[in-house]
Amino acid sequence: DAKTTQPPSMDCAEGRAANLPCNHSTISGNEYVYWYRQIHSQGPQYIIHGLKNNETNEMASLIITEDRKSSTLILPHATLRDTAVYYCIVRVAGYSGAGSYQLTFGKGTKLSVIP
């Protein structure tokens, strides 16, 4: 799996866009970028994933650079409930070999949404 690097923490004012970066400079052509978050005292929550095109869903947008070496998760209008640790994962999708089902997170980015 490609290694990812995220800033340890970020602040965002309530109602503003939160832009969370992730570097994955060793990503290979068949690896997807996935984002999860974990709100305090809750289970992890899937947010979005993408391969090379930008993606948007009801929760967030994912912008992947053309060279695919970095990506940005955008929460367009952050609320206090978005305060959480956000994890960026790079993995080959569809791979069913050993360990493929084990979800592992790095340190992530602790996002604090400020009133």
Partner 1 sequence: GAGVSQSPSNKVTEKGKDVELRCDPISGHTALYWYRQRLGQGLEFLIYFQGNSAPDKSGLPSDRFSAERTGESVSTLTIQRTQQEDSAVYLCASSSGTGHLLQYFGPGTRLTVT
Nearer Cβ to partner 1, position 102 or 115?
102
**Shortest Å, Cβ 96 to partner 1:** 7
Nearer Cβ to partner 1, position 69 or 107?
107
**Shortest Å, Cβ 115 to partner 1:** 25
- Length of the chain measured in residues: 115
**Shortest Å, Cβ 108 to partner 1:** 9
Residues of this chain that interact with partner 1 (CB under 8 A) are 32, 34, 42-46, 49, 89, 91, 93-94, 96, 98, 100-105
Count CB atoms within 10 A of the CB of residue 3.
Answer: 11
Secondary structure letter of residue 58 according to DSSP: S
Q: In what order do the strands lie in the sheet with 109-114?
A: 9-13, 109-114, 84-92, 31-38, 45-50
Instruction: Tell me which residue of 68, 81, 62 sits closest to 29, measured CA to CA.
Output: 68
Nearer Cβ to partner 1, position 14 or 110?
110
Tokens of residue 98, six digits? 């050993």
SS3 80: helix
Nearer Cβ to partner 1, position 76 or 106?
106
